[in-house]
Amino acid sequence: MNLIGSITPRLAAAAASLAAGALAVQAVVQLADHQSSESTAVGIEHVTLAAFSIGLIALIPVVLHLGRLAGRVAPAAIASGGLAALGVLATISNVRGSDPSFFAAVAAPANLVWLGGFVALAVALRRSGRVSALVAFGLPVSWALTIPLSLVGGGLLGAAYWLLVARTLTTPATRPAQLAFA
């Protein structure tokens, strides 16, 4: 069995819940604490970066499972690459206490890959009819909530979206056993 086939709905739902919790922590800290600078992390900002990293890495099995549900793994794998790159980059920044010199060179393309993969996956999910339009089209919106709108509380809405995904993945209509290719 391949890696994607080994991601059960229960595992994907648990990962979505973990991501939701981590992204909610990040959102609350961002709203409550004004960041000290653009490239350094001090004090509570380490919590923000750690939560962001955990949230992104936890989303990888969720996104891969959604790709399996849609019958289109390629967009999910592409988006997961962006998530992994940003999760690792944020971890490096957190450990160093500042962004590495290559931060912008990695972060910008990784965000584009993440967003592009989410857009393609959203279309595939909607066409498959395996999830609601809210779950399908919420994918690219979740990127916007997590990245550009995070400073104004978007992360809390993003966390709520991932809880909705977790709930959706545990409903009988989205179980892989019912898929023709499973």
Residue 182 lies in a domain: no
Element (H, E) at 21: helix 9-32
Residue 1 lies in a domain: no
Q: Looking at residue 35, what is its pLDDT?
A: 66
Q: Looking at residue 151, what is its pLDDT?
A: 81
Number of domains in the chain: 1
Task: Give the model's confidence band at 141: pLDDT under 50 very low, under 70 low, under 90 confident, else very high.
Answer: very high
Residue 177 lies in a domain: no
Residue 127 lies in a domain: yes
Which whole-number Å values give the CA distances from 151 to 4, 91, 129, 144, 180, in the listed order? 33, 19, 33, 11, 42
The answer to whether 121 touches 84, Cβ cutoff 8 Å, is no
pTM of the full structure: 0.87
Residue 176 lies in a domain: no
For the cut 70, the answer to whether the pLDDT of residue 175 exceeds it is no
Tell me phi and psi for residue 98, to 5 degrees.
Answer: -155, 160
Return the higher-pLDDT residue of 160 and 151: 160
Residue ranges making up the domain that contains 137? 9-170
Burial class (CB in 10 A: 0-12, 13-18, 19+), 101: exposed
